Amino acid sequence: MQDNTTHIKQNDDPPCKAACPILTDAREYVQLIAERRFEEAFASIRKLNPLPSVCGRICTHPCEAACKRGQVEEPIAIATLKRFACDGPWKDQYKGTPPAKPTGHKVAVVGSGPAGLAAAHDLALLGHDVMIFEALPILGGMLRVGVPPYRLPKDVLDEEIQAILDLGIEAKTGVRLGEDIKLAELFEQGYKAVFLAIGAHKDRKLGIPGEDELAGVVSAVSFLRQVNQGESPEVGEKVAIIGGGNTAVDSARSARRLGAKEVHMVYRRTSDEMPAAGEEIEDASEEGVRISYLTSPLEILGKDGKVSGLKCIKNELGEPDADGRRRPKPVEGSEFSIDVDMVIAAIGQAPESSSVGEELEVAERGNRIHVEDSSLVTTRAGVFAGGDAVTGPATAVKAIAAGKRAAISIDLYLRGEALQEAKPAKEIEAQELPEGIVEKTPVSPRCLIQTLSLDDRLAAFDEVALGLTGEQAILEAQRCLHCNLGATVDEERCIGCGTCVEACPLEIPSMDPDGRLDLDLFQCQACGTCVAECPVQAVNARFYPHRWVVSEVQKIVGDSRITDPFIVGLFSQYGNFNQGDLDALGQAFPQIVQVPVFGLERVSLSDMMQLFQLGADAVLIGKAPPENNRFPGAWPLVEKRCEAVREILDLLGYGGERLIIYTMPKEGLFEAGWMDETMERISTLGPNPLRRQAIAA
């Protein structure tokens, strides 16, 4: 399916898109969900992201941190909406296709985590012959062996990997670079380029007494790898996890699921500095994981060669260190011990770059593979590297971004063209909504994400977060404030009459003494009131531009998909109806041309009149229930327009009763029986005189 979101044009990036490492157009797919166009929403996500369901679950969603709605109450649940768009039965509709004529170049991708999979996917779409080499017996990298299934179910990952392999990509598992095959050998075997995406799977050691000699001390990576490969490693009754990242939280929650009665996380700084995602920490706390902040381990205590406790010391925060976080300083005399019988070390990972150390330059700090610049080329021609192997442990979406970047560079390299540096990320200045705008924006609470019951969570590794229903997703998506899609002014056309200043429900535009209009696009929420009211069409919106409603109906009339009588139904998308209601209406009353409208504020007096000029016998205007009204300040104007339309229809002799305005009920499009009565009424009006003439002719 092609991207046919015709009314959403490419414009200045909204904050959500600019914040995404792969520039996912969240504004676009959120809007498509809001319009019940789920299939297109999925296509919008999938065209950029080969692992969308994965990201819908475990992405750290920097988009949400940037979301303007967050300044009103809470950001749009963008990641959850992505999961919704990717979970539905419509998701098989989008398939990328490699070009008919392959390039004939063989490319080796080493590692099958998010970076490797993304690179393989994009390279295959560019026509290259891709082989994935994976050290572990199973594909997926850290997504597979790092992230527990209660966050990312294995079948979700399987399905996305399969869709990537279906592009004609081959994969060999159990082949470890440096041991089973050398870089040089890959080139000897005919690979023209290699992408190293080996991740960061090597645990950092704690470096405290007891670590090496006592039974019951494990590294988080190996612990999680066992968990995630379906083994049930033995856990103690009381487990201490050392570290504060997502790996630490994953280990803690997994330990609880494997039967640990008490799980303590020990973290050396405060909750403010803790790198794990907030919702993960919350979930862990719900599951009974205790967190000791400002605490460092000093020694693992043992008894009979087994762990028996953990000696710790309390910290206070000192001066900021190199990465800007305040350095923890031990508080003298604050030592204490906790009783534990297992210790999981989760203080960070590094790439296992010794495997390529002889053949490539490796940065000394953290064993990261050195790349020359943002083209991701290494010190060896034809060898590229990206993801955690280059950056150290980072997020899945950053790894995907690296894989996509590598695919571009490798393609250029194979075609003998100069490599290009990645365009620097657009700096979008964080803007603050003025208080007045925040006050006038009706509060619309963020969706509550249902989770499994605590008992079910702890009993197994089933996915904790439940998805959204279609109705929930639509409501959530409709919270979007449509950043940068709002009104723009043609200054040459603007006559400085002040109509928009009066009309704007958020009171955004202002006029200087010289009659020049100031309209801040950042504040605008694209309701379209000013577009409909401007007497000289000097204002237009990027979102549903001027005359959208009429051109929609014109298309239908052009296709002669009209029946007798010809009725146009403009239903506010903010009503509480679903696709099923629209479908049922279509079944029962096929003569109603349905045009769901994103807010009736944008329908002008002239739009309504033009529908009658097109021959409509009646126009139904379905208002959303008052509590759903996003722009209450604009409603009096809409009422006034409808009044004027009726008055003009009366003057013209057509009859004002051809315009029918009603308020939708709490659920559905209209009350039972209402439409039958209305159709009865419309049939007594007879055809629109213009249409009657056309029929007679």
Q: Site residues for other proteins, window 577-616 (CB under 8 A)?
A: 604-607, 609-610, 612-613
496 is an interface residue for other proteins by CB under 8 A: yes
557 is an interface residue for other proteins by CB under 8 A: no
219 is an interface residue for other proteins by CB under 8 A: no
DSSP string over 238-249:
EEEEE--SHHHH
DSSP string over 363-398:
-SGGGPBP-SSTT-B-SSTTEEE-THHHHSS--HHH
CB–CB of 659/608 below 8 Å? yes
697 is an interface residue for other proteins by CB under 8 A: no
| Nearer Cβ to other proteins (222/488) | 488
| Nearer Cβ to other proteins (78/538) | 538
695 is an interface residue for other proteins by CB under 8 A: no
| Nearer Cβ to other proteins (373/491) | 491
**Site for other proteins (CB under 8 A): which residue of 535, 560, 680, 697?**
535
**Site for other proteins (CB under 8 A): which residue of 653, 673, 684, 697?**
653
Q: How many CB atoms lie within 10 A of CB 288?
A: 15
# residues near other proteins by CB under 8 A? 37
Q: Is 139 helix (H, G, I), strand (E, B) or coil?
A: coil
| Nearer Cβ to other proteins (317/501) | 501
538 is an interface residue for other proteins by CB under 8 A: yes
User: What's 530-594 look like in SS3?
Assistant: HHHHCCCCCEEECCCCCCHHHHHHHHHHHCCCCCCCCEEEEEECCCCCCHHHHHHHHHHCCCEEE
636 is an interface residue for other proteins by CB under 8 A: no
Q: Is 621 helix (H, G, I), strand (E, B) or coil?
A: strand
**Site for other proteins (CB under 8 A): which residue of 650, 667, 676, 677?**
650
Residue of 171, 312, 151, 317 lying closest to 247 (CA atoms): 151
**Site for other proteins (CB under 8 A): which residue of 495, 627, 674, 677?**
495
654 is an interface residue for other proteins by CB under 8 A: yes
Backbone angles phi, psi at 79, to 5 degrees: -65, -40
Q: How many CB atoms lie within 10 A of CB 447?
A: 20
Beta-carbon contacts of 325 under 8 Å, excluding residues fewer than 6 positions away, are: 269, 273
Backbone angles phi, psi at 171, to 5 degrees: -140, 135
Binding segment for other proteins among 3-11, 581-589, 658-666, 689-697 (CB under 8 A)?
A: 689-697
| Nearer Cβ to other proteins (419/501) | 501
| Nearer Cβ to other proteins (232/693) | 693
| Nearer Cβ to other proteins (322/697) | 697
651 is an interface residue for other proteins by CB under 8 A: yes
- Pairing mode of beta strands 342-345, 383-385: unpaired
Q: How far is the CB of 616 from other proteins (least distance, A)?
A: 11
**Residue 374 class from Cβ within 10 Å (0-12 exposed, 13-18 middle, 19+ buried)?**
middle
Q: How far is the CB of 693 from other proteins (least distance, A)?
A: 6
- Gyration radius (Cα) of the chain, Å: 30
536 is an interface residue for other proteins by CB under 8 A: yes
| Nearer Cβ to other proteins (309/599) | 599
| Nearer Cβ to other proteins (103/606) | 606
- 373 to 109, 417, 687: CA distances (angstroms): 19, 16, 70
Residues lying near other proteins in the complex (CB under 8 A): 491-498, 511, 515, 532, 534-538, 604-607, 609-610, 612-613, 644, 647-648, 650-654, 688-690, 692-693
